[in-house]
Structure 1
Amino acid sequence: MAEAVEPGVVVAALAKSVEHALLRVELTLPQYRMLSVLTVEEPPTASRVAWMLSVMPATVTAVMDGLVAGRYVRRERDPHDRRKVTLVITSEGRHLLATANEEINRRLGELASLLDAEQAERAMAALSLWHEALAGEKQAEWAAREGARRKESR
């Protein structure tokens, strides 16, 4: 029977492994996270990205500046509210993200090759389940936040 490990140790090791894969495409983990968010919901504002990633808006601005300079993201005025600036991933950004995902998948495949087939399948299924749980949590948080805003505006 396998010895139980601290989840934090596993998460930290996986994060480090992903960071190494991202280095192959010259992308940092914060840049990767922001590009990924921009494909989920377009076009978000910097404050929405900050909320989705649980970081400070200043962090988003700093990372986005680099992504804009690299032409992976562009800032656009919201056509419905000119006070808002939205963040739009470019085709170059989508290509970089796809390449990064390939590197991450390759790295996870290397790790999975150290397991038997059933274990590898279970490990990948577990990642999908964690994704579902995290996405559900964020949706619930956003719904609660929007409900509170509506109440305040009454």
Structure 2
Amino acid sequence: MTDDISSRLARLSPEIQAMMGVYALYWKLEESFDQIETDLSHQECHMLIKLDEPKRMGVLASDMLTVPSTITATADSLEASGHLSRQRDPEDRRAWLLVLTERGKRVRSMLETAAGDVFRRASGLNDMETIEFARMARKIRDNIIEIGIPEGLKK
């Protein structure tokens, strides 16, 4: 059956094949992420992953393709649960940085490992293919940001 689907897809344009592959990967990853054992929401997990270093809310919002007001509740929740803290930005004492606590760093590390495992299983790509896919995905993301973030991502 997979061979039949692959042969039918091979007759489509490369652009359509790419879109169908990305769409299938997205849904498989969404399904697989639900299997990761955590008491955090998707948005909280996303924020922890994006906090690879201390960041201002505006920078974090940009990284998460949203506006600062939409991440305040998530930051509040992660702060209340001990995953992050707010600290004054030493470069501008008026601004605040979101900083992972030790607990937040441990959970982020677990999420990063689990997400990598999920991606490898779902994509079937080897290490070199994953590096190339990541390069192309960054290029796509940069282009989307340049031409305009979809309205659905701003909410």
Normalising TM by the smaller chain, what interval? 0.5 to 0.7
* Aligned position for 1:148: none
Equivalent residue, structure 1, for 2:133: 130
Q: How far apart in 2 are the matches of 1:111 and 1:136?
A: 21
User: Aligned pair in 2 of structure 1 residues 76, 53: CA closer, same or farther (>3 Å)?
Assistant: same
Partner of 1:62: 73
In the superposition, the TM-score normalised over structure 2's length comes to 0.67
Q: CA RMSD in A?
A: 3.0
For 2:12, the equivalent position in structure 1 comes to none
Report the number of matched residues: 131
1:25-59 CA distance string (max 9 Å, x none): 222222122111111xx221010011011112112
Whether 2:74 is the aligned partner of 1:71: answer: no
Q: Does 1:49 align with 2:60?
A: yes
Aligned match of 1:147: none
1:8-19 to 2 correspondence within 5 Å?
8-19=22-33
Match of 2:42 in 1: 29
Identity of aligned residues (%): 19
Q: Deviations over 1:64-114 (max 9, x none)?
A: 1111111111111112211110111111011112222343345456557xx
Structure with bigger RCO (C-alpha 8 Å, 6+ apart): 2
Determine if contact 1:17/1:107 at 8 Å carries over to the other structure: no
Q: Distance in 1 between matches of 2:140 and 2:59?
A: 15
Instruction: Return the TM-score normalized by structure 1.
Output: 0.67
**Gaps (5+ residues) in structure 2?**
10-16, 146-155
Distance 1:90 1:131, change over 3 A: farther
1:20 to 18, 27, 34: 34
**Of residues 101, 105, 113 in structure 2, which corresponds to 1:94?**
105
Unaligned runs of 5+ in 1: 113-119, 143-154
Q: Which residue pairs with 2:149 in the alignment?
A: none
Asked if the contact 1:52/1:138 (under 8 Å) is kept, the reply is no
